[in-house]
Amino acid sequence: MSKIVVLQQLTESQKQKVQEAAPSYEIVAVPVREASDSILAEAEIILGWSRKLQDFILSDKCPVQWIQTWSAGVDKMPMEQLEQKQVLLTSANGVHTIPISEQIFAYMLAFSRNLHRAVRNQGKHAWDESGTFTELHGKTIVIVGVGNIGAGTAQLAKAFGMKTIGVRRSGKEQDGIDQMYSMEQLDEALAQGDYVINILPLTEETKQLFNRERFAVMKDSSLFINVGRGPSVDTDALVEALQSGAIAGAGLDVFDPEPLPEDHPLWDMEQVIITPHIAGSNEHYTDRVIEIFTKNLQAYQQDRTLPVNLVDYSRQY
């Protein structure tokens, strides 16, 4: 019997959903720490990933044909080796749409209502009414990397009465986006943003895309939010932009390096909100990954192209 190895602990209900989608397969759900070469030696399909198991999975001893990652990002996957092995790769892209778009607005609302300073003053028992208070209504949000999360963010932005500008590789229009730009027009888009949101995946093209030149074209009143990938930002350039006043502040969930070192200057900047790479976390995560996986699983058994989040190795996402 062919085997599906799930590198997570599933509830009985979740395991049953996978079994119902693939009745002819044996389902083995095991946490990464308990996974072994012997379990993976018969795995045709793997749901999840671990660097700890990478060498065996990439070897001739593992018969894997398809890997469905547990994460939306695939930049840490050994894509060149997987492509050489002719392994299908799908991501969990889309599972984060609601929590990350809501986190983006948590940053924006905190900045607009000065909540980040209020929380710090609360810790000091300080009654301080100073500060600048604004509203999101009428402001311009620039969403760089309009995929599922970007589209969800745009919908929320429209509900707040904001002008929405999007940037994506194709330049293709998207519901909820007032004006779409291609990546070649990035600087033109950035110059208009009151809030600039980075949701880009990490590829060779996007590595340190947000550098000194990019921060220089933004408004000095703009706020930069990064929920994409840490290495897509030149961290030193970001620090300089914040220190010089080239931009007004930043809400950051991802970093380069990560975890952010304890002595890093970003920690002590009053105009910065830091969260520890948790923007996509919520109580529905596993159920949403299983939903993506079972849709792909049905297509896989019928020898059809996997319909959800099939990674294009040439694009690296």
Catalytic residue numbers? 229, 258, 277
Instruction: Please provide the DSSP assignment of 75-135 as one string.
Output: TTS-HHHHHHTT-EEE--TTTTHHHHHHHHHHHHHHHHTTHHHHHHHHHTT-----S----
Amino acid at 139: K
Residue recorded with tokens 């009151």:
194
Helix (H) or strand (E) holding 44: strand 43-47
Helix (H) or strand (E) holding 42: none
Rg (CA), the chain: 21
Q: For residue 78, is the peptide bond before it cis, meaning its omega torsion is within 30 degrees of 0? A: no
Amino acid at 218: M
Q: Name 177's Cβ contacts closer than 8 Å, sequence gap at least 6.
A: 143, 146, 151, 154, 164, 165, 166
